[in-house]
Amino acid sequence: MCAEIVHLFALKGRVMKKVGSIESAAADASLVIRMPAIPDRYNIGVDVCTKWAKGAERLALIYDTGESIQRFTFQDIETLSNQTADLLRDAGVAPGVRVALMAPQRPETAYVHVAIYKAGAIAVPLFPLFGEEAIEHRLSDSGAEVLVTDRQGVEKLRAIRHRLPMLKRVFCIDGGMDGADDFHAARQGCRDDFVAVDTCSDDPALIIYTSGTTGKSKGALHAQRVLLGHLPGVEMSHGGLGLSDDLMWTPADWSWIGGLLDVLMPAWHHGVAVVARRFEKFDAKLAIDLMARHRVRNVMLPPTALKILRAETTVGRDYGLSLRSVASGGESLGAELLDWGRAVLGVQINEFYGQTECNMVVSSCDRFFPAKPGWMGKAVPGHDVRVIDASGKVLPAGKLGLIAVHQPDPVTFLGYWNNPKATEEKFIGEYLITGDQGEMDEAGFIRFVGRDDDVITSAGYRIGPGPIEDCLLGHAAVRQAAVIGVPDDKRTEVVKAFIVLNEGYRADDALTRELKEHVRCKLAGHEYPRLIEYLDDLPTTTTGKVLRRELRMRTQHAVAGTQA
């Protein structure tokens, strides 16, 4: 089975074979990060659950609803996932069949994932806050035959079900509904001794749809080995993982690669328990209370969450946190956020970098080397990250180019589902191109400048939005900031900033002049925003990334704001 499926979706020569262990040790010699060898046979479900279910009652999950708390051991997850895998088999799910899962952070979401991998099927996680159009596109494109969801998901499905002929069964984890079977009732009658399918490490296991920052969302197909490929980056961004008191949490939904493969599955690989809590909208106070109450030790906070926390916390106040590590990825962090992290969270925030197609390949790690503000970190052991030009030539230190990952690499996707053309465009020779521009210094630090279409060309200068946004966040008036380039006859483009203000500040000409001068003095004369527009909120993807394309559309061929 594995060879046939891999042939369909993997580009010739890019399927992973065995990768030798590559490691790096921290300066204190107590931390070693290594890329594990990739075995021929490997199954995520067995790795993250079955191996921990034997013997002692090891804690796997703390489910906090805000009103009640439930605890699940790995033995509980083993039993529940085996019953679910047996249910899926009875529903006609064979290896390679796509099973969609649309539910928030809750126990069922976690053990259904494990069950899908054990069954040799392909999981298609869907963000529970998606609208009907987004759900229909992903279910139709993936050809999902089974959907496991909650009451809210079933209600959304009603309007589009008739346009999804491939979808044969729907299970509702909140009980039976019109058009959906009662998941728990169906599971209760299933066997709990399911034997996991003996999968190859290159067998397809997961389709994660991109968040859609550029064009229509595409399904990135990943192999079973993808979890092993993630491990060094997760370990590096947390200064190791698996200490006796480690406990992980993230507000990122498990339907995204950040929540699923940066937190839930790596934690369970190491036998580390995870806290689950559904936040329909991130709330700083609730997040801090949750981390303090459960004595969370390891957290992955997206940049948007960090910025909200920064705006709503006070330096010097004791919030009762027990954090050992904080990791963040998705957008470049700057000195302001790093300083705040040390002052309020009590730890150095370790920044990491990757994307849905090839994740966790760059990271900072305070136990390896001091952070370099404005630079993401260094290549994670086991990943060969370079800066190249459009022909695939590796550029020397200090030269701006394309951030790329040399292949083969165990964390790289097999290809875009049903989209071979887009898959081919993702590679230049032996390199996967991220679509991001950046540079590398002599010490191996990598700086993210921006997406190919985010880099601003002004009066001959190439300007990245990140440093300007970070500088603006350093001003007391600024809650959020996003920067784009807008057309200009004289300079090609000029820098425009979109600002969300903190409470107590008023958008007026005086503040606009002050913000311009703030950037001009702290950065450079050619980088200050000549145009500033104030918004109530910034447009973002469902994962919290700023949608700069919407900001560009907002100002297309227009000169709005005040120009110096």
Number of helices and strands in the chain (H, E): 17, 29
Q: For the residues 415-443, what does the mean pLDDT come to?
A: 94
Please state, in angstroms and rounded to a whole number, the distance separating the CA atoms of residues 242 and 258.
19
Please state, in angstroms and rounded to a whole number, the distance separating the CA atoms of residues 298 and 309.
16
Q: What is the mean pLDDT of the chain?
A: 88
Please report whether residue 467 resides in a domain. yes
| Residue pLDDT, tens place only, 137-182 | 899 999 999 999 999 999 999 999 999 999 999 999 999 999 999 9
CATH assignment of the domain containing 67: 3.40.50.980
Structural domain boundaries, residue 476? 454-554
Of 144, 160, 195, the one marking the end of a domain is 195
Residue 56 has pLDDT above 90, yes or no: no
Please report whether residue 137 resides in a domain. yes
How far is C-alpha 475 from the geometric centre of its chain's CA atoms? 28
Of 164, 195, 226, the one marking the end of a domain is 195
Using alpha carbons only, give the angle 260, 59, 233 rounded to the nearest 5 degrees: 35
Please report whether residue 515 resides in a domain. yes
| Residue pLDDT, tens place only, 510-536 | 999 999 989 877 776 777 899 999 998
Of 146, 166, 195, the one marking the end of a domain is 195
Q: Considering its fold, how many domains does the chain have in total?
A: 2
Please report whether residue 178 resides in a domain. yes
Please report whether residue 469 resides in a domain. yes
Task: Give the list of residues 6+ apart from residue 48 with CB closer than 8 angstroms, or none.
Answer: 114, 227, 265, 268, 269
Report whether 185 contacts 172 (CB < 8 A). no
87-121: burial string, b at 16+ Cβ within 10 Å, e else:
bbbebebebebbbbbbbbbbbbbbbbbbbbbbbbb
Please report whether residue 86 resides in a domain. yes
Model pLDDT, residue 59 = 97
Q: How confident is the model at residue 6 (pLDDT cuts 50, 70, 90)?
A: very low
Model pLDDT, residue 183 = 98
Sequence letter at residue 142: S
The share of the chain scoring above pLDDT 70, in percent, equals 88
Comparison of pLDDT for 30 and 381, the residue scoring more:
381
Please report whether residue 370 resides in a domain. no
CATH assignment of the domain containing 495: 3.30.300.30
| Residue pLDDT, tens place only, 342-400 | 999 999 999 999 989 999 999 999 999 998 988 999 999 999 999 999 999 999 999 99
Confirm whether pTM is higher than 0.85. no
Please state, in angstroms and rounded to a whole number, the distance separating the CA atoms of residues 560 and 33.
50
Please report whether residue 88 resides in a domain. yes
One DSSP character per residue, 276-295 reads E---SS--HHHHHHHHHHTT
Please state, in angstroms and rounded to a whole number, the distance separating the CA atoms of residues 561 and 315.
34
| Residue pLDDT, tens place only, 250-296 | 999 999 999 999 999 999 999 999 999 988 788 999 999 999 999 99
